[in-house]
Amino acid sequence: EVQLVESGGDLVQPGGSLRLSCGASGFSFRGSWLSWVRQAPGKGLEWVANIKQYGSQTFYVESVKGRFTISRDDTKNSLYLQMNSLRNEDTAVYYCARVYPGSSWPSFDYWGQGTLVTVAS
């Protein structure tokens, strides 16, 4: 059974940093394409970042470029999102998601349960 489990969400002050993790199981992690998608309270979905297999290529929404870094550790079946210089508007539930094998973004077929990041003073 495919499972994605996020962790690391917390309350952080503006300008602070946080690292989210997403542990994966039940599928071939190494060759998978993965993403982070966020949802602000009461709002819609927003794509944040993509990473291809082996971490060879990464892509970001304009609003997080230079502040967020997506990465993966295939030896630990884990996906990460390093978030620096956090802003109030980064407050959201952050989901990790997998791309349907053989397809492309945004064919996100499995999602984690989400982890809440709150940026506030």
CB of 56 to other proteins, least distance (A): 11
Question: 16 or 69: whose CB is closer to other proteins?
Answer: 69
Could you say which of 47, 77, 78, 91 contacts other proteins (CB under 8 A)? 47
E-only strand ranges, 1-121:
3-7, 11-12, 18-25, 34-39, 45-51, 58-60, 68-73, 78-83, 92-99, 108-111, 115-119
With CB under 8 A as the contact rule, which of the stretches 19-27, 66-74, 76-84, 108-116 interacts with other proteins? 108-116
Name the phi and psi angles at 62, rounded to 5.
-55, -40
Interacting residues toward other proteins by CB under 8 A: 35, 37, 44-47, 50, 52, 57, 59-62, 95, 100, 103-109, 111-114
